[in-house]
Amino acid sequence: GIQVEQSPPDLILQEGANSTLRCNFSDSVNNLQWFHQNPWGQLINLFYIPSGTKQNGRLSATTVATERYSLLYISSSQTTDSGVYFCAVGSDYKLSFGAGTTVTVRA
């Protein structure tokens, strides 16, 4: 199956800082999504981005499909950004998840 590697595994930020999360994957895919898992376990859709660049407020993402990686940018981080960020890739809606990046934003 497709291998998905996320880095770093843990990230501690001071409020207001910027950060970059990376996702590498081992094969061509037609679906790549970024999620934020809240403390209750729900997966919040951040981006559907099999290629290209998107922005939504303080978050943006870029996927370079030919080089099999994606980046998630968090700017001006807030304490509410804390949680686990997952990258998931696959064919259509059948997804393989990375191990996640645990982000802690300190006030």
Partner 1 sequence: GAVVSQHPSWVICKSGTSVKIECRSLDFQATTMFWYRQFPKQSLMLMATSNEGSKATYEQGVEKDKFLINHASLTLSTLTVTSAHPEDSSFYICSAPGRGGTEAFFGQGTRLTVV
- Which chain residues interact with partner 1 by CB under 8 A? 31, 33, 35, 40-43, 45, 48, 86, 88, 92-100
- What are the CA-CA distances from residue 27 to residues 6, 15, 22, 87 (Å)? 15, 36, 16, 14
Nearer to partner 1, 35 or 68 (CB): 35
Cα–Cα dist 24/37, whole Å: 19
Residue whose pair of structure tokens reads 């981080």 in the numeric block: 77
Instruction: Provide the minimum distance between the beta carbon of 6 and partner 1 in the complex, in angstroms, as a whole number.
Output: 9
Cα–Cα dist 98/2, whole Å: 10
Nearer to partner 1, 5 or 15 (CB): 5
Instruction: Provide the minimum distance between the beta carbon of 71 and partner 1 in the complex, in angstroms, as a whole number.
Output: 18
Cα–Cα dist 51/45, whole Å: 16
Nearer to partner 1, 54 or 75 (CB): 54
Instruction: Provide the minimum distance between the beta carbon of 93 and partner 1 in the complex, in angstroms, as a whole number.
Output: 4
